[in-house]
Structure 1
């Protein structure tokens, strides 16, 4: 790949290609890239020669996330600019879920945040032995967005709750176990897989021909514990249950949660539980959009991004600092619905 374009749209036989080409930034998204992906979909979806569309990434990542540094910079002074980015990104996420042609997301390498939104809503999702999948937002004072609350809430046995709340990075087997990917294809087999699809082979048969064993899933092995603990609607109860269990997995999970923004944990749990009873991805995206406005008006997002991205001291000072100090009722009631991003969608009770 030698093009200077950040998004390369091409046609290879029957396969339309959208290739993210910003490897120095791990193919992270900005508004220009979101628009280029959308334009690429316009061209490929309307082309009668295209039987499927594949999303791939240059370098070590499919996509490491969205432009949180931009949002950090403008969130306080020009919140509408940040909300405008989210609005276009979320509309793209929803569009992927309704494409008239198969969408093959190749989650080879890092796939986090915004990259997850480009992948999990598609019709065909593959991972590789290099996949590093995460929704790490609670670690920066934010919450799983890009329709993450919809996808995570539908994982079996509350595995998605564990992924969204801990922000942990998982591999191929765990991503498949949580229903966020469909198959593991070895990285070295990807060129042949894409060539087979380009030659006209059906996606299902091509993926099946190249699929490999994803290995053991740590989440599946601990699914009974996860299901019993993360079914709770209260974060303090979740902490207490993990402490009472005392297993190595419970201790490691507790350590992950203790490092996260208490406010983000409470907000994320609320959004995941609300998503469980939601009728559509669009409803969840509308709810996430409303929560975005709340986040921009708070403290922890700016502090979390500062510690992780700006100063990189990895030492955020959350406010409030302890879970018991979070006003859960006040936090949830402060989420004020915004006009729907979708003409046919209406927000559920927030």
Structure 2
């Protein structure tokens, strides 16, 4: 029996559909999928017979749960256990090759010249955010659970996630990044990470409508006002707490709020990797560069994360052994020094830096 491709593509009239097709793993991205997505999107950008592209995930659980964690763990374990390994060794591993192509794909999606409709139903995490939240048309549902969960495995939000979250006001972007908590569809719209709310029960009809009417008309018929965002109602205390300069101070301010929810947030953050949290906060507080500049910076941080022991340990505890008891180094949030954080952002040798073509893809139909 021949396995189905991990990315399916179909054209119906002037609408092309990409389906992530690994439902057993909630359509987690691997390198071959990134390559397939890139090839199809580039071809359709230059095809004047295609007016719009739709991205969906196979199965009932979600669009995409993230990236290929097994390969990343293998590389992180090898690099963090080798005291002689440096940037060159990290850049030569399979994870680095995956990130280079994935981050370029994220940039291409952000400037796609045609309507690119990302159906962000169910679980949308990590790499799934990268291929959906940079789209020009982002649709969420009542089943959406969107998250950047990287700090929980000793990693830092990537795929342009720090670019998106740095632009969310009142501390809500930092909240999402440092807690790694899931956001509802309503939350995602409130934070500016999605555009339209279509009830999950109407998705099939909405997708059929895309083949028979203009995108704006289909949205007009099926998109609804989203429910109230639970997170939006907590802006005041989140804005105050997450304005602190350090992770340790953010935790302290959350505890000082005196509310159960804020105390739970403090506990959630305190359990994450102190190093990954500090690097994430610095990423969010950096000046707001372009997406391409952010992706190049995230690539540096990703390579350095591979070499730090927390990433291998975090994946081991959360995904491999599932004991949920990682041993972070260091364990104290006040013990991470500015010099240690700076090292994650230091420029790579020129030949190792991620370069992204800033020219937009051509739309021959315009």
Distance 1:225 1:27 in 2: 36
Query: What's the offset of the Cα at 1:232?
Result: 2.3
Two-structure CA RMSD over aligned residues (Å): 1.7
Deviations 1:176-206 (A, max 9, x none): 111101111011211221222112x232331
Gaps of 5+ in 1: 346-350
Of residues 330, 335, 349, the one that matches 1:320 is: 330
Structure 2 residue 199 is matched with structure 1 residue 186:
yes
Distance 2:289 2:158 in 1: 17
Query: What's the offset of the Cα at 1:141?
Result: 0.3
Structure 2 residue 156 is matched with structure 1 residue 146:
no
Kept in 1, the 8 Å contact 2:106–2:160? The answer is yes
Kept in 1, the 8 Å contact 2:279–2:344? The answer is no
Of residues 233, 236, 242, the one that matches 1:230 is: 242
Kept in 2, the 8 Å contact 1:176–1:183? The answer is yes
Structure 2 residue 46 is matched with structure 1 residue 35:
no
Kept in 1, the 8 Å contact 2:197–2:224? The answer is yes
Query: What's the offset of the Cα at 1:343?
Result: 4.4
Distance 1:322 1:195 in 2: 53
Partner of 1:91: 104
Q: 3-state SS of the aligned residue for 1:326?
A: coil
Which of 223-232 and 262-271 deviates more? 223-232
Partner of 1:62: 63
**Paired residues, number:** 341
Query: What's the offset of the Cα at 1:344?
Result: 4.9
Distance 1:127 1:271 in 2: 26
Structure 2 residue 253 is matched with structure 1 residue 252:
no
Matches for 1:128-277 after TM superposition, within 5 Å? 128-199=141-212, 201-274=213-286, 277=287
Identify the structure with bigger relative contact order (alpha carbons < 8 Å, sequence gap 6+). Answer: 2
Query: What's the offset of the Cα at 1:74?
Result: 2.2
Partner of 1:283: 293
Query: What's the offset of the Cα at 1:54?
Result: 0.6
- The 1:156–1:206 alpha-carbon spacing in structure 2 relative to 1, beyond 3 Å, is farther
Partner of 2:354: 340
Deviations 1:126-147 (A, max 9, x none): 1111111110111000011000
Distance 1:111 1:303 in 2: 24
Gaps of 5+ in 2: 80-88, 360-366
Query: What's the offset of the Cα at 1:328?
Result: 2.9
Deviations 1:238-268 (A, max 9, x none): 1121121111221121121011111111010
Partner of 2:74: 73
Distance 1:135 1:17 in 2: 25
Query: What's the offset of the Cα at 1:233?
Result: 2.5
Distance 2:71 2:161 in 1: 21
Distance 2:257 2:338 in 1: 25
Distance 2:75 2:249 in 1: 36
TM-score (ref. length: structure 1): 0.93
Query: What's the offset of the Cα at 1:208?
Result: 2.7
Kept in 1, the 8 Å contact 2:153–2:310? The answer is yes
